[in-house]
Structure 1
């Protein structure tokens, strides 16, 4: 008689790899992170890579709940081993101390080393933690000698030189250079960077004259040119100032590239140039990855190391050679010699250590993650709210854009919050108030506006020059076209009585076409901060539920308002939801809300540590700008089923 083979089902947690990255608007750091993530995925064991899950981590976030759940930690790259500029000398040791306490293996992938000082306490703390037992691998893109001589005392750490991960840019983004281009890209950096790094004789006035001279020299030799930046606003502002100094601001549409907001835009922009003269290191590295000759203007020794690493030290000019004719001649010589592809040996200098780290310590983590008890997972889609329709890329938030909404939907959100304000001509649009910050995001001069914009001019704007704006009518049209149980919370701020009356009329007009076929009160909410607003909205019978504001304790005391009075008012007006700023959240507030059977929506948290705390305290909805529901589910609830015969 045939006997069915014995089968046993085992549930194991996936191996969780946390990729620690620098998050800012210098897109060079984003290029590093995206290239490194690609290389880590390539390094996963081919037959078992489905057992692994990757997650990005902002180095500045201090999100210890997320750190605690990691099996492996990889610092993806960038200038991290330094103590004079920025605050990485604080963040890196804190992460390493936590990793050492929880025995989480750590790899530093192609990081930069910038100096050592035995008399500096910041440097000494950094050196001490780099020798922690959790640190297994360090690959260095520049000053290997200083790392080995001064920082690393442990014999248990594999230390080696490596190439920057951005050399894989063309492969990662699928972008190649435009071979017929005749334009030279001039990569501008904020003027104070030379002074900040001790090169005090390269003043702002010197740079204005230098770039003016470079442009003139290029034109004399028959080249076209264009200023561009890596994404930072301060760099872009100096590029505008350069055009003004040159008396050519009227030609800005041609002579200044739009400020990129996504890494792919920067790579595509770089690919459009025949050659590059740039101050930012990764402007040069991206050009190299695309096979475009570049000349670097050195403000940091890391650029000298880079030139030596790729065998082209003559293309990286130190300050004594900042003379326009010499700079342009160096570029012409570089273009004549061409840009050789990155040798496979250099590429393997980063791939091999990554692969060895992931295979060795990933396998150990997989064995450790034996059979686990599966608990019922949280339904994050019923908990998390996309603030201002969702942020993008851990860098851009409070935009209220169609792109943000699409991004949030793609990442699993079903609950959304949008800021609604009236334009000067009385039309409701999606914008986070008429403030200086909003005007700057829209790319307009805040001094030209005091009480909002006209509808037509608002709709022509783009957030950060890239993301389309949206009005409330289009937003509701988008939401009502969605399937499933979606929710939308409208935040109208603190309007005057006249504006509130007009807002109510406009919102009713927008809702009217959908009221016959959709029960909007099941989907729409409105955040209100005063009793007057509540009563006006309810008397107008807007098809949406009210979320009443609960202020922080200090504000309640100043206004002589108590939790009990808020609870009684909510009961009187039939209000079931309250909105809480994060400053309001405490055990007393949550205990009272639960007692009164009031549901809560918290604004807002962006760290897993905070969100887990809010969940434990019983908050119903938690608003966030950046976190992804899809990633939350993959990271926290991941389990893998194996069938053993």
Structure 2
């Protein structure tokens, strides 16, 4: 019997038919939560399909960690936020068309081959922010479909923000696939509402990030104490459809640094790696210096998922917005407090049995967060729960791979 630690899946090699497995997602995104997903998925696939080779296709055509797909993203985001919605759509659509034609199309066309098993996921990919994912996913599925690859979606998040054009593009992509598994019931409900006539098997599957403890077992912790996982509040507000609350979060983070430092904790400020988050972290550090706040360290930007895991796994407490920082903490039995901003974070925290540690979005007063933190530090993460979710995440991936392998390449329907 071969298994990932904690799994009850026997004889996983039955899915190994020697085919190449291609994971399509945003593997090399600066926000390293996406890299955690991809690496955990690859880690499990090496066990459940040992005869298959595994490769990654990044939907921004990056080829490794630390690569920049959009130069000056911070400034571009600032300009785009101020622009009318129709202007944003026109600008992004034009830029995407050039990117896909000049960079992605030649690279991806030469990549896929007959017999490939293409897994699109995980992460929040079925989301339509100015047609970004709809156009990329439609293209990558079209090219894979043309050569007879077998395809499916695994553990993908689904947003309710699909435009009319985005819906058509996603419908075309899904019509080429034999299976789709969303990462939670809410995402499945949204998928069925957006595409009520979709005629392929559907299910839910746990986020591969729950396998982080097994995947990163050789990674040594690089710090300890309290980790404040900082995110750019303007970007969070934009995605959540709320007005900017930067001043509130400035005050919150500074107050948390003071409180935990005064309580004797080593305080670490860090991000998941995104450029806009790093810019906000630099702003916070400068603000703290001007206000005479001390007793904290700014962690050097993580470049790889292993770097991020090393920061998180040795902490006494994690506080932050980012979902996969929370999942990595949970997998390593680190207590955490989630600063809520969208329903995917809330649903995953509930799944972990930690829904009581989610602070509502837009209400980031320090006293409230500190009280949540006090309760988190007084308790402990349920290790049996984290092991059970890791086992289920592997079994769900096995189900998805089996479903894709058992299908024949789908004849063109779009």
User: What is the TM-score of this pair, normalised by structure 2?
Assistant: 0.75
Identify which range, 21-30 or 201-210, moves more after superposition. 201-210
Structure 2 gap segments, 5+ residues each: 1-16, 62-103, 409-414
Counterpart residue number, 1:17? 21
Which of the numbers 82, 87, 106 marks the counterpart of 2:132? 87
What are the residue-to-residue correspondences of 1:170-189 with 2, within 5 Å?
A: 170-175=213-218, 183-189=225-231
- The one of 167, 179, 183 equivalent to 2:210 is 167
Give matches, 1:99-114, under 5 Å: 99-114=144-159
Following superposition, the deviation at residue 235 of structure 1 comes to 1.5
- Gap change, CA 1:175 and 1:336, over 3 Å in 2: farther
Cα distance between partner residues in 2 of 1:29 and 1:249: 35
Give the SS at the match of 2:373: helix
Between Structure 1 and Structure 2, the one with more strand by share is 1
Change (3 A) 1:201 1:216: farther
Partners of 1:151 and 1:248 in 2: how far apart? 52
Instruction: Return the match for 1:239 from 257, 272, 281.
Output: 281
Corresponding position: 1:143 with 2:147: no
What secondary structure sits across from 1:125 in the alignment? helix
Partner of residue 271 from structure 1, selected from 309, 313, 331: 313
| Pairwise CA RMSD | 3.0
Cα deviations by residue, 1:552-587 (Å, 9 ceiling, x for unpaired): xxxxxxxxxxxxxxxxxxxxxxxxxxxxxxxxxxxx
- Residues of 2 paired with 1:360 and 1:206: CA distance? 47
Deviations along 1:585-624, whole A, 9 cap, x unmatched?
A: xxxxxxxxxxxxxxxxxxxxxxxxxxxxxxxxxxxxxxxx
Cα offset for 1:161? 2.4
Distance 1:278 1:307 in 2: 12
When the two structures are superposed, what TM-score results if normalisation uses the length of structure 1? 0.49
Distance in 2, Cα, partners of 1:220 & 1:85: 45
1:262 equivalent in alignment to 2:304: yes
Shift of 1:27: 1.3
Q: Secondary structure at the match of 1:107?
A: strand
In the TM superposition, what whole-angstrom CA distance separates every residue of 1:421-453 from its partner, at most 9, and x where no partner exists? xxxxxxxxxxxxxxxxxxxxxxxxxxxxxxxxx
| 1:66 to 2:111 alignment | yes
Query: Which blocks of at least 5 consecutive residues in structure 1 are unaligned?
Result: 1-12, 366-645
Report the CA distance between 1:175 and its aligned residue. 5.0
Instruction: Supply the distance in 1 between the matched residues of 2:242 and 2:401 (Cα, whole angstroms).
Output: 44
Q: In the TM superposition, what is the alpha-carbon distance from 1:38 to its structure 2 partner?
A: 0.9
Looking at structure 1, the residues matched to 294 and 113 of structure 2 have their Cα atoms a distance apart, in angstroms, of: 49
Higher RCO structure, 1 or 2 (CA under 8 Å, sep 6+): 2
Written as runs of structure 1 = structure 2, the 5 A alignment for 1:157-236 is 157=201, 159-175=202-218, 183-236=225-278
Aligned residue pair count? 345
Aligned counterpart, 1:77: 122
- Change beyond 3 A, Cα 1:29–1:161: same
Instruction: Give the 3-state SS of the residue equivalent to 2:347 in structure 1.
Output: helix
Answer whether contact 1:199 1:299 (CA < 8 A) is retained: no
CA deviation string 1:385-409 (max 9, x = no partner): xxxxxxxxxxxxxxxxxxxxxxxxx
Partners of 2:302 and 2:128 in 1: CA distance:
29
